[in-house]
Structure formats: C-alpha cells, structure tokens
Amino acid sequence: MQVKRQTNGPKTEAPGAAASPETETIVADICVIGGGPGGLSVAAAGAAFGRKVVLVERHKMGGDCLNYGCIPSKALLAAGKRAHAMRTAAVFGISGIDPEIDPRAVHNHVHGVIAAIAPNDSVERFTGFGVRVIPAAARFIDKSTIVAGEYRIKARRFVLATGSAPLVPPIPGLDSVPYFTNETIFDNQQRLHESYGIVDHTNDVLHELARAETAVLRAESGERGIVGLAGGVLHEGQSIIAVRHKE
Ligand SMILES: Cc1cc2nc3c(=O)[nH]c(=O)nc-3n(C[C@H](O)[C@H](O)[C@H](O)COP(=O)(O)OP(=O)(O)OC[C@H]3O[C@@H](n4cnc5c(N)ncnc54)[C@H](O)[C@@H]3O)c2cc1C
C-alpha cells in the first residue's frame, strides 16, 4: 500500500503553527498517533481493510506494554516466582535453597524477553502490513493535519492512542530519596535490598515492603487511593503524607 505524497505542503499555516520545517505532506485515510498496543491494533486492522494508514510513534514501538509494562513486569515476576519456588521447595520434600540473585542477569533476562517480542511490534513488521510508520512526535496544527518530524500528515480520521505516563505523586520529601517509576525500574541493575516501598495506585495494593534502609514512608489515615506503609505494616486505605531518609 502506498500513501499519497505531496512534496509541497499547504502555503498557508494554521494559526499558531510554528515555522514549517517539514518537507513532505502525506495524505492518508487513517493516522494513528501512538505505537502502543492500542495504536498498533488499529493500524494493523486499518491496513488489513485496505485503508491508507500512517502510524506516528515518538519513542518506542510497542509502547508501555512492551517496554515498561506488561512484558517486562511479567518477565520480572517469572524470575521472582522461580526464586520463591526455590526458597519454599521444602513443602514438596525438596530441600529449599536461598538462591543467589544476580540483578544484572535478571535485568538481562527481562530485556531478553522484550527483545524476543519486539519484532511483533516493529517498524519492519508494520511496514510489511502496508502501514507507513513515522518515528516522531505528533502535534496538531488543525483538525485534519498534524506535524511529525519533517512530515505534515493529513488524514480523514485520526486515532489518538497516546497512552499514559506515570504520575509521580506530590508527596513531601519524595524528591529527596531515589525512586523508580515503571519507566525506570526495568533498567535497574542493582540489588535494592529492602529499602524500597512500592506504591501501586492502579491496584490499590502495596505489594511488598520490608524494613526501610534508605527511605521511610510515613502513613496516616486519609483518603483512599494511595496505599501507605509504616514500619513494614500494610495499611490499605491510607495516604502517604511524607517520605524521608531513614535516620
Ligand atoms: C507495570 C505495568 C504492567 C502492566 N501489565 C499489564 C498486563 O499484564 N496486561 C495488560 O493488559 N496490561 C498491562 N499493563 C497496561 C498496558 O501496558 C497498557 O494498558 C497499554 O500499554 C496501553 O496501550 P496504549 O496503546 O493505549 O498506550 P501506550 O502503550 O502507553 O502507548 C502509547 C504510545 O503513544 C506514544 N505517544 C504519546 N504521545 C505521542 C505523540 N504526541 N506523538 C507520537 N507518539 C506519541 C508513546 O510514546 C507510546 O509509545 C501494564 C502497565 C504497567 C505500567
């Protein structure tokens, strides 16, 4: 499938549009913004129906799911479950052992799983479907036109599949301690010991936290939404009001 190209863009700029650095205008039936699972599904389906589809992704194909969500988290969970099974094998009559964990090797396992799945979401695969993939950030300049990198893209329909980003809650003191989000935790290659609390706003579950070594989360009764921990005890339905280095 070929998309129609116009090498000379419109002469008039939309109000508020920046000076035009783009060199090519692409006209398509569907322009999908975001190459995560949502955008990829729509792009593949549109191309399968013979539509002219352009997909714009500003960062990594596969979006959160492949790179910062479903895939790395399940790979990490698999490693954790294996270690747990080794520790608790005694119930099956097998000597339990405390496995030695190499954080760098676990990191490599996680990224190996991502790399194995990445071809499914790749530019090459979607290009093969007939989707024109543009690796750039999209922004609208009018209701039927976006600019992405050096391209101007006009489409009958736009699909916004731009996903989400982690929210760092405005907890006093949080900036004074190291913390991870789902966009950074899977790049970690160091042992965390028992110094991190995990706040999972989506599931209302605080998965795991042992005694804090570098940081302490202080919790107080409060609104539901963020689960807090004090002194290693789970307290659902509480709000974290502060985080500070352990004294
Ligand atoms: C830790 C974790 C574990 C998860 N586990 C699971 C699971 O087991 N099962 C499950 O079903 N879901 C899981 N999810 C949720 C899943 O990751 C999301 O539901 C899914 O990624 C959403 O897909 P999406 O296409 O809507 O958005 P995203 O995957 O967020 O993709 C959006 C894409 O849009 C791009 N983008 C944004 N703005 C622009 C722009 N202006 N121009 C160009 N591109 C842009 C971004 O770079 C991104 O690649 C998990 C999420 C997390 C964080």
Domain assignment of residue 194, yes or no = yes
36 CA distance to ligand 1 middle (Å) = 5
The answer to whether the CB of 215 falls within 8 A of the CB of 196 is: yes
Asked if 129 and 3 count as a contact pair (C-beta separation under 8 A), the reply is: no
247 occurs within a structural domain? no
SS3 of residue 131 by DSSP: coil
pLDDT single digits (tens) 26-43 = 999 999 999 999 999 999
In a domain, 144, yes or no: no
Residues in the chain predicted with pLDDT less than 70, given as ranges, are 1-22, 193-247
Q: Which domain, by its residues, includes 214?
A: 166-228
Instruction: Dig out the tokens for 68 from the structure.
Output: 């910062």
Indicate which atom in ligand 1 lies nearest the CA of residue 63: 49
The tens digit of pLDDT for each residue in 206-222 reads 333 333 333 344 444 33
Q: Say how many Å lie between the CA of residue 64 and the centre of ligand 1.
A: 3
Q: Identify the burial level of 123 via C-beta atoms within 10 angstroms of its C-beta, where 0-12 means exposed, 13-18 middle and 19 or more buried.
A: middle
| Residue 204 covered by a domain | yes
Residue 176 has a pLDDT of 82
In a domain, 32, yes or no: no
Amino acid symbol at 25: T
- Number of structural domains (the chain) is 1
pLDDT of residue 222: 39
| CB of 78 closer than 8 Å to CB of 70 | no
Which amino acid, residue 33?
I
Q: Is 72 in the pocket of ligand 1 (CB under 6 A)?
A: no
Radius of gyration in angstroms for the set of CA atoms belonging to the chain, rounded to a whole number: 23
How far is Cα 43 from Cα 27, in angstroms, rounded to an integer?
Answer: 15
Amino acid at 208: E
1 Cα to the center of ligand 1, angstroms: 27
Tell me whether residue 21 is in a domain: no
Cα separation of 144 and 130, whole Å? Answer: 22
Please report where in the chains the tokens 């500003």 appear, as a residue. 58
In the reported structure, the alpha carbon of residue 166 is separated from the centroid of ligand 1 by a whole-number distance in angstroms of 10
In a domain, 122, yes or no: no
**Helix 103-117 to helix 70-87 angle, to the nearest 10 degrees?**
140
DSSP single-letter state for residue 17: P
Residue 98 in any domain: the answer is no
Q: Looking at residue 237, what is its pLDDT?
A: 61
Whole-number Å distance between alpha carbons of 56 and 63: 12
